[in-house]
Structure 1
Amino acid sequence: MELRVAELAHAAGVGVDTVRFYQARGLLAPPLRRGRFAIYTGDHLERLRRIRALLDSGFSLAQIRRLLDADATSPAPGARRATGGTRGGAREDSNSLLASLAERSVGAGTLTQRELAEETGVPEALVAAAVRAGLLTPIEIDGEPRFPRSDLDMVAAGLAVLGEGLPLERLLELATQHASAIASLAEQAIDLFDDHVRKPRGEDEGAVRRAFERLLPQATQIVALHFQRTLVARALARLREKGESGALEETLALARSGRLEVQWR
């Protein structure tokens, strides 16, 4: 199959500018050259359809590039796999883990920024501020930033914290610092999973997905509890340095004992 760029775009259901944008982002291999003409193949079309399917599942372009590049069974972008497969069957055998990731990233439906603000009862400007701070991370679906419904809980928790009198500006500063630090740790955790769980299991995508589903809640628990215990230990140390005690210290001691725990999904 040989296609010009307009034919490729039409077959994939995207615009010509989108094709060129994906090439610039490294998601799509450059076309073959025949004189002055750019020639695309069925491999490019399959790749575009796969990108489109992942976008529809709620992944951002950055996530898609990482997922495709990390796929142990995938050649360079744009190259066709030995198993073939075109429209409707683009690597269904390798989509198990991607589906699991999408389920946890997107969940049951998404919201626009305005809808998120309306359902939580907060000003849209506050939601936008949380996005800038890295506290909320929208996903791009059909070119529009959207938020998983689980972000409703995130906003509700933020409102509860603000309701205790903590200043918004300071909280956003902390959120920005946290987002920067946690992004680096998350990348390292992904590399660890990739090297020691996904790659050793090779083609067994079902085993990879099951391992991911077992590990994700455990890793979340470790991180959440570690932060809580660190926060409690430092707060207790500060109280004792100042010679202060009372109900707060009793509460902190209760949290440290494990009888007052954080909750997570």
Structure 2
Amino acid sequence: MRYRVEELASRCDLSVDTIRYYQSLGLLDAPEREGRAAWYDDGHVATLGRIRDLKAQGFTLAMVKRALAGELDAGEEALAAAIQRPAAEGADLAPIGPMDLPELSEHTGVSLTVLESVARQGILIPSTEEDIPYGAEDVDAVRAGQALLDSGVPISELLALAREHDAAIGGIADQAVDLFARFVRDPIRAQVDDEDEAARRMVEALQTMLPAATEIIAHTFRRRLLTAARERLEADEAAQA
């Protein structure tokens, strides 16, 4: 079968602009040219289906490109999917799909201007580089921030606190990833010859590590926060005595 770009877009339920965007990124081969006519075939249909499947797993377009080029082995592809869509057992998240900033504003009731300002400062971190990079977790985070604002915390002070936290936690995240690579991923690769079995073990280890590392860090922060609050109250009481 051969298709013009409009027919390919209809067949794959995509816009013509999306197809041309994928071509510009090198994800989709150029069509066959006959004079001024451009023809696509079933190979293009299959590639677009593969792109859809990978994006549904949470792959960024950069990772999609590597997967299409055969640059990811089974273990790397499984890890990439697990990283993009980590297991969140027990998470109390609303059933909200991917959204852009205007949709995030609509879900949270926080003005788009405020969200754009927060995003520009690198505090509202998108999950991917796509144009629908936010999800239920971001709704919860924005609502939590709004609760602090409603309690009287100035937005400038809240943003400053968030920036300091982001700067501090970035190094910890890098260390955690390095630990996983050195002591989990690399030994599994060295010890397990079967790619599918290695991929399964790596994903299981990652899904164990993510919530464990998150809980350790959250527990430490909660304990530090409560300790600091208690010490502040005791210092205020001593000053008033």
TM-score, scaled to structure 2: 0.64
Q: Is the 8 A contact 2:59 2:80 kept in 1?
A: no
| Distance verdict in 2 for CA 1:80–1:133, change over 3 Å | closer
The equivalent position to 1:97 in structure 2, one of 61, 68, 79, is: 79
Counterparts of 1:23-62 in structure 2 under 5 Å? 54-55=54-55, 57-60=57-60
Residue 167 of structure 1: aligned partner: 154
Partner of 2:5: none
Aligned counterparts of 1:59 and 1:80: Cα–Cα separation in 2: 14
Structure 1 residue 213 and structure 2 residue 207: aligned? yes
Q: Specify which structure has the higher proportion of helix.
A: 2
Question: Offset at 1:174?
Answer: 1.1
Q: Secondary structure at the match of 2:134?
A: strand
Q: Select 1:134's aligned residue among 97, 122, 142.
A: 122
The 8 Å contact of residues 117 and 127 in structure 1, kept in 2 or not, is answered as: yes
- Secondary structure class of the residue paired with 1:211: helix
Cα distance in 2 for residues equivalent to 1:205 and 1:227: 33
Deviation at 1:96, TM superposition (A): 2.6
What TM-score do you get using the length of structure 1 for normalisation?
0.59
Higher relative contact order (CA 8 A, sep 6+): 2
Measure how far apart 1:103 and its partner are.
1.8
- 8 Å contact from structure 1 (residues 96, 209) kept in 2: yes
Aligned CA distance change for structure 1 residues 133 and 59 (closer, same or farther; 3 Å):
farther
Aligned-partner residue type, residue 131 of structure 1: A
Partners of 2:101 and 2:110 in 1: CA distance: 11
For residue 123 of structure 1, the aligned residue among 108, 111, 132 is 111
Could you tell me how far 1:133 is from its partner in structure 2? 3.4
Corresponding residue SS for 2:237? coil
Partner of 1:188: 175
